[in-house]
Structure formats: C-alpha cells, structure tokens
Amino acid sequence: MLKIGVFDSGLGGLTVVQALKKVIQGAELFYIADTKNAPYGEKTSEQILQFSLDITQHFIETHQIDALIIACNTATSASIKILRERYPEMIIIGTEPGIKPAISQTSTGNIGVLATPTTLQGDKYQQLVNRLSTPKHITLYEQACPGLVEQIEKGALDTDKTKEMLMAWLHPMKKNNVDTIVLGCTHYPLASEVIQELMQDGVKLIHTGEAIAKHLLSLGEKSGHVNEGSLNIILYTTGSINTECMRSMLDMTETVHLISL
C-alpha cells in the first residue's frame, strides 16, 4: 500500500488532499498541518527549510512514507531541492504557482498572481516565470497577500476586513483587464468564491491540486503502485486549528491528532 505524507502550515494543503481523494486509491495518506509554525509565508527561508526537514523526518520515522507532497508553495520554494538531494529514492512532489496553465487559458494576456511574500520573492518562482517566457504577449500582475492565510485559518473569509484586503489587491487586476488569476498558495482556493464575487466578470482561477494528484498517480504506478482499493486518511496538527473545518473539507468524521515535532 502506497504511503503518502502531505504537509502545509494549516488548512490550505487540504485543497490538495481533496484532489488526491478523487484520484488516488489503495493508499494511506498522513496529513500534517504545522499550525505551531504558521504562517509559513512570513517566515525566513531557513526557518521553512527546517520545518520541512523536521516534518519529512517525522513522516519517515513514524509512517515509513513512500511519497511526500509539499502542499505549500512557500515550503516548496524553500525546501524541495534539499529534500530531493537528501531522499533521492522517495517520490517528492512540490507545489508551484500555475503560471503555465494560466498562459494557456488567458484571452487577454493579462494574468494575476496572488501569492505569499516569500513565494513571490523566491528564486524558484522567478525561475518558473523566466522558464515560461513565451512569444505570446503576457503581462503578469503579481500581488503579495500578507495576512490572507491568517484570515482563512480563522474562518473569517466572509468578513469586511477580508473583502477589503482582497479588494485592494484585486483592483489593479480588474483595472488592467486580468481574465485569469493564479492562486499561488494552497490556502487561496478556499477564498475562490469571494475572489470571483469581487472580480465580477467570470475570471478564471488557477490552482494546482488536480495536477499534483495526477502526477502522483503517474509516478506511483511507475514504481509499482496498484491504484485500487480505499484511501485511508489520518489528520495531524502541531498546534490549534479548526478541526471541524478540517473534517468537513474532506467529508470525514475522524479525530484530528495533536503531535509534537
């Protein structure tokens, strides 16, 4: 049975787990919400790397995982290179902003990117943008969203404060005829309805959970995984979290376990 470790700083990585649930069978999935150290997007790269190393070691020692999903754009940028060097035999899949599908879907050529400050400043994001430079005329409107993860974690999406934050960030995109927005943090799909409401003109929102699930299935089958049977999910958190929201996102009744790393 394929054993999968998935982690993020909180609820956001569950948007990836939702996608995995639709694709992966015959596996055990262990999810860690590292809320003790959240939000990652405002920590240093060195801190995030250490969190990622500690969590990965815990997965290996406790659950003997075969595959690791870094369900966080910020942690991917800070740690995936080191993790792949340290664990070359393990399937390791990161999360990066969906610039490529956004380029293929935009009609106006104007693409918005919402992400954490650390993601936008990271080398991995800059390399991604440079790699995907294309003859098609594309203008990226990049916007760091400090504080949005915290609002989502608090369940404060439908509040005046959150809407004011998003309105300020989205106004330049609306003004410049952005028709496609990359959700460059796994938390941000949870704010999709509010973003759609504020943009008001059928903007396309891009997030990468489905692509990650298909990629894991492909790599898993190449290594001998038979995609049949049930998917068992166990949820962990390193600190306080809205456990009811965790369970409801995955339509589960299981206990959320508190762990110390």
- How confident is residue 211, by pLDDT bands cut at 50, 70 and 90? very high
Does the annotation count 245 as an active-site position? no
Provide φ and ψ at 114, rounded to 5°: -105, 125
Which CATH class for the 2-95+209-258 domain?
A: alpha beta
Query: Does the pLDDT value for residue 133 go beyond 70?
Result: no
Measured between alpha carbons, how far is residue 58 from residues 30, 145, 205, 222, 261 in Å?
A: 11, 30, 34, 25, 7
Q: What is the pLDDT of residues 82-120, one digit of tens each?
A: 999 999 999 999 999 999 999 999 999 999 999 988 889
- Is the pLDDT higher at 135 or at 155? 155
User: End-to-end CA distance of the chain, in Å?
Assistant: 25
Q: What is the CA radius of gyration of the chain?
A: 18
Q: Which of 17, 185, 217, 241 is catalytic?
A: 185
Q: For domain 99-206, give its CATH number from 3.40.50.720, 3.40.50.150, 1.20.1270.360, 3.40.50.1860.
A: 3.40.50.1860
User: Please, what is the average pLDDT of the chain?
Assistant: 93
Q: Which two tokens stand for residue 210?
A: 């489905």
Q: Which two tokens stand for residue 226?
A: 């038979």
CATH 3.40.50.1860-classified regions of the chain: 2-95+209-258, 99-206
Cα separation, 229 vs 232, in Å, equals 10
Angle at 112 between CA 164 and CA 104, to 5 degrees: 150
Does the annotation count 185 as an active-site position? yes
pLDDT score, position 159: 94
- Global pTM value: 0.90
Work out whether the CA dihedral 168, 169, 172, 176 comes out positive or negative: negative
Cα separation, 232 vs 11, in Å, equals 18
pLDDT score, position 121: 87
- How confident is residue 16, by pLDDT bands cut at 50, 70 and 90? very high
Contact between residue 73 and residue 187 where contact means Cβ atoms under 8 Å apart: no
Q: What is the pLDDT of residues 51-76, one digit of tens each?
A: 999 999 999 999 999 999 999 999 99
Q: Would you list the DSSP string of the chain? A: -EEEEEEESSSTTHHHHHHHHHH--SEEEEEEE-GGG--GGGS-HHHHHHHHHHHHHHHHHHH--SEEEE--HHHHHHHHHHHHHH-TTSEEE-----HHHHHHH-SSSEEEEEE-HHHHHSHHHHHHHHHT--SS--EEEEEE-TTHHHHHHTT-TTSHHHHHHHHHHHHHHHHTT--EEEEESTTGGGGHHHHHHHH-S--EEE--HHHHHHHHHHHHHHTT----S-EEEEEEESS---HHHHHHHHT--PPEEE---
Q: Which of 19, 24, 72, 194 is catalytic?
A: 72
